[in-house]
Protein backbone atom coordinates (compact mmCIF):
# COMPACT_ATOMS: atom_id res chain seq x y z
CA UNK A 1 0.00 0.00 0.00
CA UNK A 2 1.23 3.50 -0.78
CA UNK A 3 1.51 6.27 1.79
CA UNK A 4 -1.27 8.79 2.08
CA UNK A 5 0.01 12.00 0.47
CA UNK A 6 -1.47 15.43 -0.06
CA UNK A 7 1.04 16.77 -2.59
CA UNK A 8 -0.64 19.49 -4.63
CA UNK A 9 -3.55 19.64 -2.20
CA UNK A 10 -4.57 22.76 -0.27
CA UNK A 11 -6.05 22.41 3.21
CA UNK A 12 -7.68 24.86 5.60
CA UNK A 13 -7.73 23.96 9.28
CA UNK A 14 -9.76 26.32 11.46
CA UNK A 15 -8.72 26.91 15.05
CA UNK A 16 -5.33 25.44 14.20
CA UNK A 17 -3.32 27.62 16.56
CA UNK A 18 -3.37 24.99 19.31
CA UNK A 19 -4.78 21.67 20.50
CA UNK A 20 -6.33 19.38 17.91
CA UNK A 21 -6.27 21.87 15.05
CA UNK A 22 -2.53 22.39 15.38
CA UNK A 23 -2.01 18.64 15.33
CA UNK A 24 -4.23 18.22 12.23
CA UNK A 25 -2.39 21.03 10.44
CA UNK A 26 1.06 19.63 11.25
CA UNK A 27 0.10 16.15 10.07
CA UNK A 28 -1.52 17.30 6.81
CA UNK A 29 1.52 19.48 6.09
CA UNK A 30 3.92 16.65 6.94
CA UNK A 31 2.14 14.57 4.30
CA UNK A 32 2.53 17.25 1.65
CA UNK A 33 -0.49 19.54 1.95
CA UNK A 34 -0.20 23.30 1.73
CA UNK A 35 -2.05 24.43 4.84
CA UNK A 36 -3.90 27.58 5.82
CA UNK A 37 -3.53 27.73 9.58
CA UNK A 38 -6.51 29.70 10.83
CA UNK A 39 -6.80 30.93 14.41
CA UNK A 40 -8.04 34.18 15.82
CA UNK A 41 -6.10 33.54 19.01
CA UNK A 42 -8.78 34.11 21.64
CA UNK A 43 -9.30 32.59 25.07
CA UNK A 44 -10.98 29.23 25.58
CA UNK A 45 -14.39 30.88 26.11
CA UNK A 46 -14.00 32.99 22.98
CA UNK A 47 -13.20 36.20 24.86
CA UNK A 48 -9.99 38.21 24.72
CA UNK A 49 -8.26 40.36 22.20
CA UNK A 50 -7.04 37.53 20.05
CA UNK A 51 -4.04 37.99 17.85
CA UNK A 52 -1.71 36.44 15.38
CA UNK A 53 0.72 34.65 17.71
CA UNK A 54 -1.00 31.24 17.86
CA UNK A 55 -1.43 30.80 14.11
CA UNK A 56 2.00 32.23 13.37
CA UNK A 57 3.64 29.78 15.75
CA UNK A 58 2.07 26.78 13.98
CA UNK A 59 2.97 28.15 10.55
CA UNK A 60 6.55 28.44 11.76
CA UNK A 61 6.52 24.86 13.08
CA UNK A 62 5.29 23.62 9.69
CA UNK A 63 7.92 25.62 7.82
CA UNK A 64 10.67 24.47 10.20
CA UNK A 65 9.68 20.90 9.36
CA UNK A 66 9.99 21.66 5.64
CA UNK A 67 6.28 22.14 4.92
CA UNK A 68 4.20 24.93 3.39
CA UNK A 69 1.73 26.98 5.38
CA UNK A 70 0.07 30.40 5.56
CA UNK A 71 -1.55 31.98 8.58
CA UNK A 72 -5.03 33.46 8.74
CA UNK A 73 -6.37 35.28 11.81
CA UNK A 74 -10.06 35.72 10.96
CA UNK A 75 -12.85 34.41 13.15
CA UNK A 76 -15.06 31.61 11.87
CA UNK A 77 -17.98 33.27 13.64
CA UNK A 78 -18.91 35.59 10.75
CA UNK A 79 -19.49 34.88 7.08
CA UNK A 80 -17.02 37.64 6.25
CA UNK A 81 -14.47 35.80 8.39
CA UNK A 82 -15.20 32.50 6.64
CA UNK A 83 -14.87 34.14 3.25
CA UNK A 84 -11.58 35.74 4.27
CA UNK A 85 -10.22 32.38 5.43
CA UNK A 86 -11.06 30.82 2.07
CA UNK A 87 -9.65 33.85 0.26
CA UNK A 88 -6.35 33.35 2.09
CA UNK A 89 -6.16 29.85 0.61
CA UNK A 90 -7.10 31.09 -2.88
CA UNK A 91 -4.63 33.98 -2.79
CA UNK A 92 -1.77 31.82 -1.48
CA UNK A 93 -2.39 28.54 -3.28
CA UNK A 94 -5.20 29.02 -5.83
CA UNK A 95 -7.74 26.51 -4.50
CA UNK A 96 -9.17 24.64 -1.52
CA UNK A 97 -9.26 20.84 -1.49
CA UNK A 98 -9.61 20.12 2.21
CA UNK A 99 -11.46 21.92 4.99
CA UNK A 100 -11.20 20.83 8.60
CA UNK A 101 -13.81 22.67 10.69
CA UNK A 102 -12.17 22.51 14.09
CA UNK A 103 -12.37 25.94 15.77
CA UNK A 104 -14.29 25.89 19.00
CA UNK A 105 -14.98 27.48 22.35
CA UNK A 106 -16.67 26.40 25.58
CA UNK A 107 -18.99 28.23 27.96
CA UNK A 108 -20.27 25.50 30.26
CA UNK A 109 -23.09 26.19 32.67
CA UNK A 110 -26.17 24.30 33.87
CA UNK A 111 -29.05 25.10 31.53
CA UNK A 112 -31.10 26.94 34.14
CA UNK A 113 -28.19 29.34 34.69
CA UNK A 114 -27.13 29.72 31.08
CA UNK A 115 -27.00 33.32 29.86
CA UNK A 116 -28.24 34.07 26.37
CA UNK A 117 -24.76 35.41 25.54
CA UNK A 118 -23.24 32.01 26.43
CA UNK A 119 -25.73 30.26 24.18
CA UNK A 120 -25.13 32.66 21.31
CA UNK A 121 -21.34 32.64 21.50
CA UNK A 122 -21.03 28.86 21.50
CA UNK A 123 -23.68 28.26 18.84
CA UNK A 124 -22.17 31.00 16.68
CA UNK A 125 -18.64 29.58 16.68
CA UNK A 126 -19.51 25.90 16.28
CA UNK A 127 -22.73 25.87 14.24
CA UNK A 128 -22.75 29.14 12.32
CA UNK A 129 -18.95 28.80 12.04
CA UNK A 130 -19.54 25.54 10.17
CA UNK A 131 -21.69 27.41 7.67
CA UNK A 132 -19.47 30.48 7.47
CA UNK A 133 -16.36 28.64 6.34
CA UNK A 134 -17.86 25.61 4.63
CA UNK A 135 -20.08 27.52 2.20
CA UNK A 136 -17.31 29.56 0.53
CA UNK A 137 -14.98 26.54 0.60
CA UNK A 138 -17.61 24.22 -0.89
CA UNK A 139 -18.28 26.64 -3.73
CA UNK A 140 -14.61 26.37 -4.71
CA UNK A 141 -14.64 22.58 -4.27
CA UNK A 142 -17.68 22.24 -6.55
CA UNK A 143 -15.86 24.15 -9.29
CA UNK A 144 -12.93 21.75 -8.99
CA UNK A 145 -15.09 18.63 -8.52
CA UNK A 146 -13.03 17.68 -5.52
CA UNK A 147 -13.37 18.24 -1.81
CA UNK A 148 -12.87 16.70 1.59
CA UNK A 149 -14.65 18.32 4.53
CA UNK A 150 -14.41 17.44 8.21
CA UNK A 151 -16.74 18.66 10.93
CA UNK A 152 -15.92 18.29 14.60
CA UNK A 153 -18.72 17.14 16.88
CA UNK A 154 -18.47 15.88 20.46
CA UNK A 155 -19.63 12.96 22.57
CA UNK A 156 -21.26 15.68 24.67
CA UNK A 157 -23.67 16.25 21.77
CA UNK A 158 -23.97 12.66 20.61
CA UNK A 159 -24.64 11.27 24.08
CA UNK A 160 -25.09 14.19 26.51
CA UNK A 161 -23.03 15.85 29.20
CA UNK A 162 -24.13 17.95 32.17
CA UNK A 163 -23.63 21.68 31.77
CA UNK A 164 -23.17 21.68 28.01
CA UNK A 165 -26.56 22.35 26.42
CA UNK A 166 -25.21 25.17 24.25
CA UNK A 167 -22.18 23.14 23.16
CA UNK A 168 -24.13 19.89 22.67
CA UNK A 169 -26.80 21.60 20.56
CA UNK A 170 -24.19 23.28 18.38
CA UNK A 171 -22.20 20.08 18.02
CA UNK A 172 -25.26 18.12 16.86
CA UNK A 173 -26.04 20.88 14.40
CA UNK A 174 -22.85 20.12 12.51
CA UNK A 175 -23.90 16.47 12.26
CA UNK A 176 -27.11 17.62 10.58
CA UNK A 177 -25.07 19.84 8.27
CA UNK A 178 -22.90 16.87 7.33
CA UNK A 179 -25.92 14.64 6.70
CA UNK A 180 -27.13 17.04 4.02
CA UNK A 181 -23.74 18.02 2.58
CA UNK A 182 -22.79 14.37 2.03
CA UNK A 183 -25.76 14.24 -0.36
CA UNK A 184 -25.24 17.62 -2.00
CA UNK A 185 -21.50 17.05 -2.37
CA UNK A 186 -21.55 13.49 -3.72
CA UNK A 187 -21.92 14.47 -7.39
CA UNK A 188 -18.85 16.70 -7.09
CA UNK A 189 -16.60 14.18 -5.33
CA UNK A 190 -16.98 16.18 -2.14
CA UNK A 191 -16.77 13.83 0.80
CA UNK A 192 -17.90 14.98 4.22
CA UNK A 193 -17.24 13.32 7.56
CA UNK A 194 -17.38 14.21 11.23
CA UNK A 195 -15.08 13.36 14.10
CA UNK A 196 -16.03 13.18 17.77
CA UNK A 197 -12.61 13.51 19.37
CA UNK A 198 -11.28 13.29 22.87
CA UNK A 199 -7.87 14.79 23.50
CA UNK A 200 -5.80 16.75 25.96
CA UNK A 201 -6.11 20.45 25.15
CA UNK A 202 -6.90 23.65 26.95
CA UNK A 203 -10.59 22.73 26.58
CA UNK A 204 -10.14 19.52 28.58
CA UNK A 205 -7.14 20.27 30.83
CA UNK A 206 -9.32 20.89 33.89
CA UNK A 207 -12.06 18.33 33.24
CA UNK A 208 -10.03 15.16 32.64
CA UNK A 209 -7.66 13.51 35.16
CA UNK A 210 -3.92 14.15 34.54
CA UNK A 211 -3.15 10.45 33.85
CA UNK A 212 -5.86 10.39 31.17
CA UNK A 213 -4.60 13.64 29.65
CA UNK A 214 -1.16 12.13 29.18
CA UNK A 215 -2.62 9.32 27.10
CA UNK A 216 -4.95 11.51 25.07
CA UNK A 217 -2.48 13.22 22.80
CA UNK A 218 -4.10 15.23 19.98
CA UNK A 219 -1.66 13.43 17.65
CA UNK A 220 -3.72 10.27 18.19
CA UNK A 221 -6.79 11.97 16.67
CA UNK A 222 -5.27 13.56 13.58
CA UNK A 223 -4.50 10.34 11.62
CA UNK A 224 -8.18 9.66 11.01
CA UNK A 225 -8.65 13.27 9.93
CA UNK A 226 -5.85 12.78 7.42
CA UNK A 227 -7.35 9.51 6.16
CA UNK A 228 -10.83 11.03 5.81
CA UNK A 229 -9.27 13.94 3.89
CA UNK A 230 -7.36 11.69 1.53
CA UNK A 231 -8.16 11.03 -2.12
CA UNK A 232 -8.60 7.36 -1.43
CA UNK A 233 -11.28 7.90 1.20
CA UNK A 234 -14.69 7.16 -0.28
CA UNK A 235 -16.67 6.94 2.95
CA UNK A 236 -18.92 9.97 3.33
CA UNK A 237 -21.34 10.96 6.06
CA UNK A 238 -19.65 9.08 8.89
CA UNK A 239 -19.20 10.07 12.50
CA UNK A 240 -15.99 8.75 14.04
CA UNK A 241 -15.30 8.63 17.76
CA UNK A 242 -11.57 8.93 18.22
CA UNK A 243 -9.04 9.47 20.99
CA UNK A 244 -6.26 7.73 22.90
CA UNK A 245 -5.88 5.19 20.09
CA UNK A 246 -9.62 4.37 19.96
CA UNK A 247 -11.35 4.54 16.56
CA UNK A 248 -15.03 3.72 16.10
CA UNK A 249 -17.86 4.75 13.81
CA UNK A 250 -20.94 6.10 15.58
CA UNK A 251 -24.29 6.22 13.81
CA UNK A 252 -27.98 6.97 14.12
CA UNK A 253 -30.14 3.85 14.05
CA UNK A 254 -33.93 3.51 14.02
CA UNK A 255 -35.75 0.56 15.53
CA UNK A 256 -38.03 -1.57 13.34
CA UNK A 257 -40.89 -0.11 15.36
CA UNK A 258 -44.50 -1.02 14.83
CA UNK A 259 -47.64 0.38 13.20
CA UNK A 260 -50.75 1.10 15.15
CA UNK A 261 -53.77 1.37 12.90
CA UNK A 262 -56.79 3.57 13.12
CA UNK A 263 -57.18 6.47 15.53
CA UNK A 264 -54.24 5.90 17.80
CA UNK A 265 -54.79 6.29 21.53
CA UNK A 266 -52.17 6.99 24.22
CA UNK A 267 -53.02 3.60 25.71
CA UNK A 268 -52.16 1.84 22.44
CA UNK A 269 -48.80 3.59 22.45
CA UNK A 270 -48.28 2.42 26.04
CA UNK A 271 -49.25 -1.13 25.15
CA UNK A 272 -46.82 -1.14 22.21
CA UNK A 273 -43.92 0.62 23.91
CA UNK A 274 -41.79 -2.54 24.05
CA UNK A 275 -42.08 -2.97 20.26
CA UNK A 276 -41.51 0.73 19.61
CA UNK A 277 -38.29 0.75 21.64
CA UNK A 278 -36.92 -2.68 20.72
CA UNK A 279 -33.64 -1.99 18.91
CA UNK A 280 -33.26 -5.54 17.58
CA UNK A 281 -33.01 -5.24 13.79
CA UNK A 282 -32.58 -1.46 13.99
CA UNK A 283 -31.52 0.17 10.71
CA UNK A 284 -29.33 3.02 9.59
CA UNK A 285 -30.65 5.12 6.70
CA UNK A 286 -28.54 6.74 3.99
CA UNK A 287 -30.95 9.66 3.71
CA UNK A 288 -34.49 10.74 4.57
CA UNK A 289 -35.97 8.72 1.72
CA UNK A 290 -34.59 5.51 3.14
CA UNK A 291 -36.65 6.16 6.23
CA UNK A 292 -39.88 7.65 4.89
CA UNK A 293 -40.06 5.83 1.54
CA UNK A 294 -38.50 2.66 2.88
CA UNK A 295 -40.37 2.35 6.13
CA UNK A 296 -43.44 4.52 6.43
CA UNK A 297 -44.85 4.90 2.92
CA UNK A 298 -44.93 1.18 2.01
CA UNK A 299 -47.04 0.51 5.06
CA UNK A 300 -49.40 3.36 4.25
CA UNK A 301 -49.85 2.04 0.72
CA UNK A 302 -50.58 -1.44 1.99
CA UNK A 303 -52.88 -0.11 4.66
CA UNK A 304 -51.91 -3.27 6.45
CA UNK A 305 -52.83 -3.77 10.07
CA UNK A 306 -49.87 -5.08 12.03
CA UNK A 307 -51.14 -5.22 15.57
Q: Is 177 helix (H, G, I), strand (E, B) or coil?
A: helix
Taking the C-alpha atoms of residue 116 and residue 289, their distance in angstroms, rounded to an integer, is 36
With respect to ligand NAI, which residue has the nearer C-beta, 172 or 183?
A: 172
Helices (H) and strands (E) in the chain, counts: 13, 8
Instruction: Report 111-130 residues binding ligand NAI (CB under 6 A).
Output: 125
Among 11, 19, 36, 179, binds ligand NAI (CB under 6 A): 19
Among 197, 237, 238, 257, binds ligand NAI (CB under 6 A): 197
Can residue 36 be called a binding residue for ligand NAI (CB under 6 A)?
no
Instruction: Using DSSP bridges, classify how beta strands 98-100 and 68-72 pair: parallel, antiparallel or unpaired.
Output: unpaired
With respect to ligand NAI, which residue has the nearer C-beta, 47 or 289?
A: 47
With respect to ligand NAI, which residue has the nearer C-beta, 33 or 221?
A: 221
Q: Is 39 helix (H, G, I), strand (E, B) or coil?
A: coil
**H, E, C per residue of 184-203:** HHHCCCEEEEEEEECCCCCC
Contact segment (CB under 6 A) with ligand NAI among 103-111, 227-235, 258-266, 292-300 equals 103-111
Q: Is 254 helix (H, G, I), strand (E, B) or coil?
A: strand
Q: Give the distance, in angstroms, between the CA of residue 159 and the centroid of all CA atoms in the same chain.
A: 15
Of 167, 188, 227, 240, the catalytic one is 167
User: Closest distance between ligand NAI and the C-beta of residue 166, in Å?
Assistant: 11
Among 9, 14, 185, 237, binds ligand NAI (CB under 6 A): 14
User: Closest distance between ligand NAI and the C-beta of residue 299, in Å?
Assistant: 39
Taking the C-alpha atoms of residue 141 and residue 288, their distance in angstroms, rounded to an integer, is 25
Amino acid sequence: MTDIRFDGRVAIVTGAGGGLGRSHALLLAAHGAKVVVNDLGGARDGTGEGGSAMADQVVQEIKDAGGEATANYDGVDTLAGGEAIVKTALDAYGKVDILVNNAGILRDRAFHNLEEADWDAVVTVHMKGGFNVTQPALRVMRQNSYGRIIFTTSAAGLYGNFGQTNYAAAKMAVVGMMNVLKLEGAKYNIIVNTIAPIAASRLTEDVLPPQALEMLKPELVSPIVAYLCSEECTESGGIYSVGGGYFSRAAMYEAQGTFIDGDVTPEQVRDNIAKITDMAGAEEFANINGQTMGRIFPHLQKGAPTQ
